[in-house]
Every structure is written in C-alpha cells, then in structure tokens.
Structure 1
Amino acid sequence: MAIAEKKDLFTFPPAPDATAPEWPGTPIGAKNTITRTKGRTAVANKTVDATPGLFKRLLANAFQHVATSGQTTYSHDVVIHGLRVRAITNSEHLIGYWKDNWYGTDEWFRITGQKPADTPDVLVVALGRIPSEAEAAYYSRQNDTVVFFNTSYYGQLKSWVLGAVGRKLAVDYGIHSIHGAVVTKDGKGILYIAPTGTGKSTSTYGLMEFPNTRFHSDDWVYVRYAYRTKDGKKVFSPARILQDGEEVARGYRTYKWLEDNRNKDATVIGRGLDDREVTASPSELDIDHPEAYAYTSEKVFYIRSNLVENFPVAAFDFARSRLENAPDVTPEFLLQNKASIDAVELQLRRKPPFDKMDNQHLRETIARFFAFDNTRAMLDITTVFPKERVFTNPLEPARINAVMLIKRNFDEDVVVDRLTIDEFMARLLVGRTPSGTKEIVYNNYRAVDDKSERAWIDTIEAKGVERMWSEYGKAKDRPETLHEEMEMFRMLYRSTTAYDLNTILQKDPTVTSKMEAVRSTMRIIVAALENSRDDFRYTISEYRKLLG
C-alpha cells in the first residue's frame, strides 16, 4: 500500500524493503526517485571532532563497506568556488544529482581557465544499506569531511557540502557562503535572504520579468567583500595580511584588522575581480567604502518543482529532469487545486513534450510537480531565460547593491522598511521562520554546532531584540563560529543597503490574485533598489505610492 500524505491528497510508493534508502517512484520526467529520508536525518552531528576516535571509526566503517559489500560505488570530483570536492557514494540517485549540480574539474578549467587542485579540499562520503550505522549525517571540520549513512536525500547532502566548503572559504579566504539568491537589474544586484516559504524563489524569478535583468543564483551564493584602492585602479578582496613577514590576519579576520590598522605598514594579499592575486598596503585602500560581489555556486539548480505554480515555463525543463520525491496525486488533490492546475495547463497544452499527453495525464503531471512541497528537480536556467540573461561563468562577479531580508508576517502592516545595522543583525541572529522556529542567518545547514550557538544567542535575545547587536558587540564569550558568520554579515551591511521585505500584499483587499500581489511586490523591490533615503518605509496602506 502506498504511503499517504496530507489526508490522502498525495502518496508515495512504498519502500521495497526496510533498509532501502531510495527506490523508483511512479515515472515522471527523466526519472523519479523516492528517498526514505525527505529532510534532515535523525542524527545530524556537526561536532565529530569533539569525540576522540569518532571520525576514524566512521571513515573506517564507510570504507570497509565499500571494500566488502560488493555494491557499485561511484566517485566524482567537482569544483565549488575554486575548491575541489570529491563525492564517494553507492547511491545512483546521489551521484546523478551530484554530476548535474556542479562543475566537473574539466568543465571548471574550460570555463574559468583555472586548474583545480590535484587533491580534494573537501570530501563527502554517502553510503546506504550499512546495517551497523543509523540514518545519520556527520561533519568533521578538522578533516573537511562530510559522512552520510543510510540516506539518499540530496538536499541535506548538498547543503552540508556547501556548509563545509563555506567554512573553509571563510577561514582561509574571507569568502562568505550565504543561503540566498541574486538577480541583477541595470547592473545592480539584489540579494534575497529568507526562510523557506516566504517568497525567495518567487521574487528571484519574478524580477526577471523586468527589462535589463540577469539571473544569477537561486539558492546559494558566495560573496567576496572588496575594497577599491584610493586611485580607483584596483578592486580586490583581501585574504591575508602580512606585517614584517608574519601573517597577522587571514580570511574573515582581515576586515576588522584593516579597519583598526588602516595606516599600518603591512601587505594585503587578495584576489581581484578577475580572480588574480593582487597586493596593496592598507593605506592604499578605501576602507570606509567596501563593496560586495556575488558568485554563483551551482551549474544546474537543485530546486523545488512547485516553482511551476508561479512560473509554468519551468515545467518544460522539469519534464526532462531527474526528479526527487515526486508523489502520486489523488482525485481529491486535483479537485482542490483545479484553479492552479488550470492556469499552468494553459501554458503547457499542445507544446512538447506535453502535447503527447492526454488531458488527465497532463493535469496529473502538473499536480505532481507541486503536491509535495519538497519535490525537487534539476533546472538548467538557460532553458528558462536566454543565455545572455544568465550568469553562466562561476567566476563572473555580480555587484550587490541591496539586500532583502524577506519574511511573511500577516500580523504586521509594514511591507518594506530600510534597516539599521541593529535591526539587520538582530533579524539574522534570531532567524525566525514562518513556522515559529529559529534558523541562525536563515541557514539551517551551516557546518557548525548551531545548538550551542543558539543557546548563546538566546541569552542576548532575552535582554531585548533591539539590544541584541550592542550586547553581541560587548560579549567576550561569543562562539567563534558565530563571530565568523556575523563578522561577514557586518561587512555585507557596510557594503550594501539592507531592507526588510514583508510579502503580505494579498492582505490588501484591493489585490485580487496571488499573481497581482507578486507583480506589485516586484515593483516595490525595484523601487527599493533605486532608493537612496534612510526613511524608506511603507505600510500596506501606503505601498501603492511606490507603484506610480
């Protein structure tokens, strides 16, 4: 019997046995794989290094299984923002998505001209059907290694790998790994940061309906903070600072060092916008006016297929993609979602490959794309937008001018508000989601001990949200991993203009549809991008002033 979800509105085929981490689903697209785990694993241990011998045991068990199980094992190296990352897995599903998602080493060299390291900077081992291990995920910072057992859900693997890469980039190079999305308009970049379900993807794709826009990223970006030299001839991101031949700062620590020692005799070593090494002295740099540049992380986007509800054109690529956890839908689901299915069907009918489907098959296919909110697919964005409107070189920078912290809180009337640094940093520290949970910087997959970080944040939040950033600055016992993250978000605030965006326009009684609300929200975003006022703040009764 199939596994029922949401009062039998959709179902998943049952597992073939009690230990299978993945199995075939009802066909849709190029392939449909059902994973036993469809979210975070029951065990999620990011503090492996704190337990002596644990990492050695995990790796020994993994490689013993590879050597003795007789199962096919795959190994493939990719490059993520310059770091070579190796995946070893016995999951056909994971290796397929892994190869789709990232640039292979040869691709990276062909596109960027940069030769990756000969050996991996980060290793991920993901093995299923290991009876001696629980369903679990582990991370060792000391060894830059991620180990997964008995789960084939790609979403967690991808996020933990990005977190591991991000930690290394932050500590060694001062590069910021952000769970966010970027679009540029007229050469100005907008970075969206948001919890799930508040409109990040909708805002990203929605803005592309405006002229002079380019699609950059959908889910994850790498941000380099840079300074111009005072003569304007160089723009570069610092990675190391040497004084009298000794290293005095590295990675994310370089920014504060430069602010405190701007006239010291030292050598700043970093990367230019062309990614070539550049050097300067602190006195040559315009320390007071940093800039932020975003870089893509993915070749093909791992994305929720429910995108088709607002952007039906994505269905054409999804129909060719391998899908993850696409369910079967019931007649009740089709009936309850008739209006949404009708709207998408109008865009797909009589167009290949949907022209070969009868009406019932077409409607069921559309419904299966969005019935389960964590059904995933791989989307080649150049099939949705012309290639010239997409950032396809992973080392092409996009200057970030505005940051939108998106939320959806119908209890508030403010739609858009320019944020002070105290408000901006408090929002990120608390990280409240629509469900009421908290995710530090809206990123639940950071490669850190987020439980201990959260416990510490709770102590300063108890003194009042409005005081959090000042209390943070005075504290002497803040976790170093949290300081690493917040120091780079401090640089993001210094480099851009930050806004609170509340996606609640459906609350306006004059708004007649979700699509109208989305389009008006996009116009608000454009107005904010062009704004230079500190008092930029509009409520649900005032926002139409921005629409002209």
Structure 2
Amino acid sequence: MAIAEKKDLYTFPGPPDAVSPEWPGTPIGAKNTVTRTKGRTLVHDKTVDAKPGLFKRLLASAFEHIATAKETTYSHDVVIHGLRVRAITNSEHLIGYWKDNWYGVEEWQRITGKKPAETPDVLVVALGRVPTEAEAAYYSRQNDTVIFFNTSYYGQLKSWVLGAVGRKLAVEYGIHSIHGAVVTKGGKGILYIAPTGTGKSTSTYGVMEFPDTRFHSDDWVYVRYAYRTKDGKIFSPARILEGGEEVARGYQTYRWLEDHRSSDATVIGRGLDDREVTASARDLDVDHPEAYAYTSEKVFYLRSNLVENFPQAAFDMIRSRLENAPDVTPEFMLQNKATIDAVELQLRRKAPFDKMDNQELRETIARFFAFDNTRAMLDITTVFPKERVYTNPMEPARIHAVFLIKRNFDEDVVVDRLSIDEFMARLLVGLTPAGTKEIVYNSYRAVDDKSERAWIDTIEAKGVDRMWGEYQKAKDKPETLNEEMEMFRMLFKSAAAYDLNTVLQKDKAIGSKMEAVQKTMKLIVAALDNTREDFRYTITDYRKLVE
C-alpha cells in the first residue's frame, strides 16, 4: 500500500513490515531507497556523556545485535578533513551513500599526499532492526562516537558525523565546521550560510553561470583562520606554548593572541599546505586574519529539487542512488506543468533521457522535486569541468564575503552590509523561514543545543540589537557556544558580512523564478566587489546594481 503525502500530490511505496528502516522505492536512477524516517529521529540525544552508564549500554546493545542478528554488517573507513572516521552498519543504503560521499583512506592519501591515523578518530555505528532500541540518535563527545538505531536516513547520519568531526577539529585545531556552501569568483571566495529552503545551493550553482568561477562546496565546509607573519607566511594557529606550558589550544588561540600581542610565546600551527610550522606570537599580524575554506565531501549529497533551477544536474542525478524519490500524482503534474515544461526542454533528446517516452520523462522530472527532501549524490565534475571544481580536499579557498541568506517577504531590504552586532545576533537567533530557531543555522552541531538555546533566550529577551554586547559581558555562557561564536567572530574579522534576502520575486517586473535567481546572483557578485560599509539596497532600488 502506498503512503500518501501532501494531499496526494505524491506518494511512497509502503514498508514491507512494521520494523524495516528502509525498503525499495519505485525505480529511478541507479537505485531508489525509501527510508522510514525522512528527517531527524524523534530521539536525538547529544548529552550521553552526562548520563552515567548510557554510552556503555548503547554500545552493548549494538554489539549484541551485531553478534546475534543473522545479517550482513559493513565497515568502512573514510577521511574527513584529515580525521579517520569508521562507519559500522547493517544498512546497505547507508554504506552505499557513505562510500560515495567521502574520500576513502587510500584515495585521500593519493590525492592529498597526507597519511591519516591508523585507527579511527571518530566512530559511527548505525544499525537497523534492533528490537531493544527506539528509533534514535546518540552522540558521545568523550568517546567521539555517534550511534544510530533503527533509522536509515542518511542526512542525519552525515550531519551528525560532520558535527562530531567538527567538535574535535575546533577544540584541538581551531578549525571551524560550518553548515554552508562556497563558490569562488576571480579567486575570491563567497561563503553562504543559511537555513534550509532559502537558496543556499541555488546561489552556489547560480554564481557558476559567471565567468572565472570555481565550485567549492555545497553543504558543509571547514574553515581555518590564519594570520600572516612578518615574512609573509600564512599561518593557522593550533597550540600556544609559553615557558614550555600550553596556554591555549584550538579555538582559544585567537583571543589569546589578541590579548598577548607582544608575547614571545611559541605558536604551533599549520601552513596552507597543511605542514606543521611554528612562529613567535609577536610575529603574527593578529589584526588582519584571513579565512580559508576546505571542502569536506567527495561527491555531494544534496536535494534533487536542484533540477528546478539547474536542469543540467539531472544528467548526473539520473545515474545516482536516490533517497526518498516519490511517485507523483496527476494533480502534482498539473500543478507544476510550467516547471516540468522548462526542465523538459533542457533534457529532451539528450542521453539518457532520449530513451524515455514523453510521459516517463515528465514523471521523472517531477519525481526529482515533488518531495523537498529527496536526495541524490552528485559528482559535481559531471556538471562543471574539473578545472572549475575544487577536487583536492586540502586545496584552500580564501573567503572574502559571507552571506547570511534568508527569505522574508515582509522585508524590502534585499542586501545589506552587516555590522558585527547584526551578524552575531543573526547567528545567535538563527531564525528559519518556518519560524523555528537554529543556532548558527546548524541544527546538527554535536552539542547540547537545548541548553544553549535556553541561555540565548535570556539575552535575546533584552533586545536583538543588544545581543552581541550582552553576550560578550556574560560570564556564564555555555563553553560550546563560546567555542562556536568565537570562531564566527574570527570569520567576521576575516571577511565582509552581508544579509541577503532572496525575495526578488516581489518585484512585479520580475517575470519568473528563474529571472529572480539570475538577478539575485548579480547582487551577490556586486557585493563581492563592494568595499563600502553602507552597502544596502531594497526591492525598489536594487536594479542599480544589476542592470
């Protein structure tokens, strides 16, 4: 029996039984898997370390299932920004996506020339059909371990693993894990940070329509903050030693260096080539930090509705494994005829779509975007030439501008240069189009975000315009929040920050969604080249920038 969704506009084939976390969907692409959970699990606990005995119980439950269940269990190591991460799972879907998504150990070493650790830095265990456990996700920072039960949705697993890797990188190396996307133009990096559904991926692919651009990342980046030395070297600090004693590590190094400018302490860090280097604290230009982004994924896990605005992505997606591609109803086809028509024009008579009859082609197109969380794996080098893509995960892209994207039709301002108070308040509040709040627009951080949110609410109550000032004065801020915001403070010091409101469809002169996207891209490029602090345009005067 099919499961109806959204007033019967699309459906999914029903499960074979009451416990299967995944099952085959109607064929499309290389494979289509339907997952019982299509978002975050009902139980999602990042406070395992605060509950004595819980981690051992979870691990024992996982081991017992592996030992007693008569099913295949897979294990595969990958490397994510230098850290070795092992996945152990009984899900064919998860292990397939895991291998597609990341660089394997030998692959990483061949591409980067860097040898990862012999043993895992982070462990993820994801098991389905475990009768003693609820559908749940758990994280232990003390053990650098993520444990999932009875869910095969790759999106949450991927994000929690990235969060776990990010915590380790931040604390030990001062490397910032950001839920964002990067593209470069003329060698200048553009970083987008945004809640889901506001145009992050659209903006990334859209700027690629301009000349002299390179695609960097679609969903998650690692940012290293660096200083120049007096002799011109670029240096990213990780540890500071004074008198042989460690006085700062990871994200703590930035503030320490600002407070001890004339110190002769030894700073241990890495150059852009990732080689370890040392310098004296007094030799670093701490007033002018620079931000360098590194990609995390080999093949991008993204929403297949990208084809609405960029039909060329369909050529690779149709060869990809898909996750939760639904069946569509005649009502959906009718309601979305214009979009389907536009995409069909770009795909018709081109392989492999040339082998489909008209109805099959149109239904295939519709299935890519009917459900807003249908996912695919996209090898970006099939969309853009390799020379226009960052294919080495250790090749840095310097960030010159960061855009906090939103979609608020009640506001007329479409682009605005932000002060640090505005920038940090936006990130602390993290308001989404749905009215929910995600700290720094990242709901998958490996922290106790409920406690953080409760604390943020106390300073937000004093007024959004006062939040950053109140935050800095507070002595009781959660350390995990301090870690995050300290690195965002460094991002603001390193790049120009903008508010981008993707609402150009409000302009009555705009004829289509595609035209609105194209003009938004011109706004972004204009902001990238801007040097003014008073850069602010509304729906009534933005055309000065784009025409």
Give the TM-score, by structure 2 length. Answer: 1.00
Query: 1:328 and 1:540 mapped to 2: Cα distance?
Result: 38
Q: Deviations over 1:148-198 (max 9, x none)?
A: 000000000000000000000000000000000000000000000000111
Matches within 5 A, 1:41-80: 41-80=41-80
Alignment-mate amino acid for residue 66 of structure 1? I
In the other structure, the counterpart of 2:345 is 346
Structure 2 residue matching 1:242: 3-state secondary structure: strand
Q: Deviations over 1:392-429 (max 9, x none)?
A: 00000000000000000010010100000000000000
Query: 1:72 and 1:42 mapped to 2: Cα distance?
Result: 26
In the other structure, the counterpart of 2:544 is 545
Structure 1 residue matching 2:70: 3-state secondary structure: coil
Tell me the percent identity: 85
In the other structure, the counterpart of 1:156 is 156
Structure 1 residue matching 2:172: 3-state secondary structure: helix
In the other structure, the counterpart of 1:390 is 389
Shift of 1:18: 0.1
Matches within 5 A, 1:412-427: 412-427=411-426
Matches within 5 A, 1:12-411: 12-232=12-232, 234-411=233-410
Query: 1:139 and 1:114 mapped to 2: Cα distance?
Result: 28
Shift of 1:264: 1.0
Query: 1:369 and 1:180 mapped to 2: Cα distance?
Result: 23
Shift of 1:455: 0.3
Q: Deviations over 1:236-286 (max 9, x none)?
A: 100000011110000000000000001112100000000001110011111
1:4 pairs with 2:10 = no
Q: Deviations over 1:349-399 (max 9, x none)?
A: 111111111111100000000000000000000000000000000000000
Query: 1:400 and 1:463 mapped to 2: Cα distance?
Result: 33
Q: Deviations over 1:514-536 (max 9, x none)?
A: 11111111111011000000000
Structure 2 residue matching 1:532: 3-state secondary structure: coil
Shift of 1:230: 2.0
Alignment-mate amino acid for residue 512 of structure 1? G
Structure 1 residue matching 2:223: 3-state secondary structure: strand
Query: 2:42 and 2:198 mapped to 1: Cα distance?
Result: 26
In the other structure, the counterpart of 1:507 is 506
Shift of 1:293: 0.1
Shift of 1:487: 0.2
Q: Moved runs in structure 1, 4+ residues, more than 6 A?
A: none
Shift of 1:224: 0.1
Q: Deviations over 1:189-236 (max 9, x none)?
A: 00000001111111000000000000000000000000001221x101
In the other structure, the counterpart of 1:466 is 465
CA RMSD between the two structures: 0.5
Query: 1:331 and 1:524 mapped to 2: Cα distance?
Result: 38
1:532 pairs with 2:528 = no
Alignment-mate amino acid for residue 150 of structure 1? N
Query: 1:242 and 1:359 mapped to 2: Cα distance?
Result: 68
Q: Decide which moves more: 26-35 or 513-522.
A: 513-522
Query: 1:140 and 1:441 mapped to 2: Cα distance?
Result: 21
In the other structure, the counterpart of 2:452 is 453
1:442 pairs with 2:407 = no
Alignment-mate amino acid for residue 33 of structure 2? T
Query: 1:63 and 1:353 mapped to 2: Cα distance?
Result: 44
Q: Deviations over 1:450-475 (max 9, x none)?
A: 00000000000000000000000000
Query: 2:117 and 2:401 mapped to 1: Cα distance?
Result: 34
Structure 2 residue matching 1:264: 3-state secondary structure: coil
Q: Decide which moves more: 170-179 or 511-520.
A: 511-520
Structure 2 residue matching 1:313: 3-state secondary structure: helix
Query: 1:147 and 1:395 mapped to 2: Cα distance?
Result: 28
Shift of 1:537: 0.4
In the other structure, the counterpart of 2:430 is 431
Query: 2:515 and 2:352 mapped to 1: Cα distance?
Result: 29
Q: Deviations over 1:117-165 (max 9, x none)?
A: 0000000000000000000000000000000000000000000000000
Alignment-mate amino acid for residue 362 of structure 2? R
Shift of 1:70: 1.4
Query: 1:516 and 1:205 mapped to 2: Cα distance?
Result: 14
Query: 2:71 and 2:514 mapped to 1: Cα distance?
Result: 49
Q: Deviations over 1:65-84 (max 9, x none)?
A: 10111110000000000000
Query: 1:230 and 1:524 mapped to 2: Cα distance?
Result: 36
Query: 2:111 and 2:261 mapped to 1: Cα distance?
Result: 37
Shift of 1:547: 1.5
Query: 2:146 and 2:154 mapped to 1: Cα distance?
Result: 13
Query: 2:86 and 2:64 mapped to 1: Cα distance?
Result: 18
Structure 2 residue matching 1:176: 3-state secondary structure: strand
Query: 1:236 and 1:112 mapped to 2: Cα distance?
Result: 19
Alignment-mate amino acid for residue 530 of structure 2? N
Alignment-mate amino acid for residue 55 of structure 1? F
Query: 1:112 and 1:52 mapped to 2: Cα distance?
Result: 40
In the other structure, the counterpart of 1:475 is 474
Alignment-mate amino acid for residue 104 of structure 1? G
Structure 1: 5+ residue runs without aligned partners? none
Alignment-mate amino acid for residue 145 of structure 2? T
Query: 2:264 and 2:517 mapped to 1: Cα distance?
Result: 52
Query: 1:9 and 1:525 mapped to 2: Cα distance?
Result: 35
Alignment size in residue pairs: 547
Shift of 1:440: 0.2
Alignment-mate amino acid for residue 298 of structure 1? E
Alignment-mate amino acid for residue 289 of structure 2? P
Query: 1:367 and 1:517 mapped to 2: Cα distance?
Result: 22
